[in-house]
Homo-oligomer: A and B are copies of this chain.
Amino acid sequence: MKILLDCVPCFARQALDAVMEAVEDPAQREPILRRLLHQIADGDWSGSPPAMAQRLHRSIRQELNNPDPYRAIKDRMNAIALELVPAMRQRIDTHPDPREAAVRVAIGGNLLDVGAKTQIAAEELPAHLETIWSHPLRGDLEGLFLAAERAHSILFLADNAGEIYFDRLLIERLPTEKITVFMRGSPVLNDATIVDAESAGLPELAPVFDNGSDAPGTILDDCSADFQAWFERADLIIAKGQGNYETLSEVNKNIYFLFTVKCQLVADRVGEPVGSLVVKAGRLGGEDSQ
């Protein structure tokens, strides 16, 4: 998915968010934001939106001389998720369709993001998370589980910290013996890396590796040769989060994208409104591959 002019104000907003969240000293924020705006103005607008975000966050880490300015936020997201896991697991187990419930939880894990950023009181978050049960869930749920059944090798591409705890609940419902989980190669934004996967206990279920890239998405050319080989060999990719959709939606591969629609441009593209929980088959996924 290519950057459109409409993405540009959103980059400015992302730069502001990053500055407000990652830069502790208020006096540092304005000069850094000005430099990030220049960077957006001079940037390469021919790639995908996460490619721009990757460059912005590299700059922020350099400016702050801090390799992981979101570590505290990620820890908070993980802690919130850890507390919620037992209730979520119970909701899944007692749901009329536990597989649908597990997908809702995994996609809805995205909302922990908001909780962590605004520091929603712990007691309010469950009410906030209730929306994952009422938001429309669109797409080919059956196709996803059928594809997982048929596949020999499945790559699960993770998204954010916190959310990774909820991903685990979905992975438990999939044929775990076929699954390899890939995390971002190094910290970017609040995206999950190996340490988050370990904190969620994922290695107990499946091998966990990193993709070698610091993009908040999966830019294949930017990933390690190892990851590219895994990606090539796998016959099913399950990709979490809008960033993975933005970077992989045009790849000819059997991919299921699981994400919350967060912007109008993506909404237009997938044909579902902002806020929808989506299970979207990629170019060679679902009916296209029949």
Count of residues in A whose CB is under 8 Å from the partner chain: 23
Complexed CA–CA distance, A38 and B16 (Å): 16
Please determine whether A16 and B8 come into contact, CB atoms closer than 8 angstroms: yes
Please determine whether A42 and B34 come into contact, CB atoms closer than 8 angstroms: yes
In the complex, A29 has a CB within 8 A of chain B = yes
Known: A41-B34, A45-B30. A5 touches B16 (CB 8 A): yes
Nearest Cβ distance between residue A56 and chain B, in whole angstroms? 13
In the complex, A174 has a CB within 8 A of chain B = no
Contact residues in B for A34 (Cβ distance below 8 Å): 41-42
Nearest Cβ distance between residue A19 and chain B, in whole angstroms? 7
Please determine whether B41 and A37 come into contact, CB atoms closer than 8 angstroms: yes
Chain A residues touching B, majority SS:
helix
In the complex, A132 has a CB within 8 A of chain B = no
Complexed CA–CA distance, A124 and B131 (Å): 31
Q: Which of B8, B9, B19, B38 is in CB contact (< 8 Å) with A5? A: B19
In the complex, A13 has a CB within 8 A of chain B = yes
Contact residues in B for A41 (Cβ distance below 8 Å): 34-35, 37-38, 41
Please determine whether B13 and A33 come into contact, CB atoms closer than 8 angstroms: no
CB nearest to A10 among chain B residues? B9
Produce 1/0 per residue, A23-40, CB < 8 A to B.
000000110011101101
Contact residues in B for A19 (Cβ distance below 8 Å): 5
Nearest Cβ distance between residue A174 and chain B, in whole angstroms? 38
Nearest Cβ distance between residue A108 and chain B, in whole angstroms? 25
Contact residues in B for A120 (Cβ distance below 8 Å): none
Complexed CA–CA distance, A9 and B8 (Å): 9
Produce 1/0 per residue, A1-29, CB < 8 A to B.
00001101111110110011000000001
Complexed CA–CA distance, A259 and B191 (Å): 41
**Which 7 pairs from chain A and chain B are nearest by CB?**
A37-B41, A12-B12, A9-B13, A9-B12, A38-B41, A34-B41, A9-B16
Q: Provide 24 A-B residue pairs closer than 8 Å at the C-beta atoms, listed in order of the A residue.
A: A5-B19, A5-B29, A6-B16, A8-B12, A8-B33, A8-B37, A9-B9, A9-B10, A9-B13, A9-B16, A11-B12, A12-B12, A12-B13, A30-B45, A34-B41, A34-B42, A35-B41, A37-B37, A37-B38, A37-B41, A38-B38, A38-B41, A38-B42, A41-B41
Known: A6-B16, A8-B12. 5 other contacts (CB 8 A): A5-B20, A9-B10, A11-B12, A30-B45, A34-B42
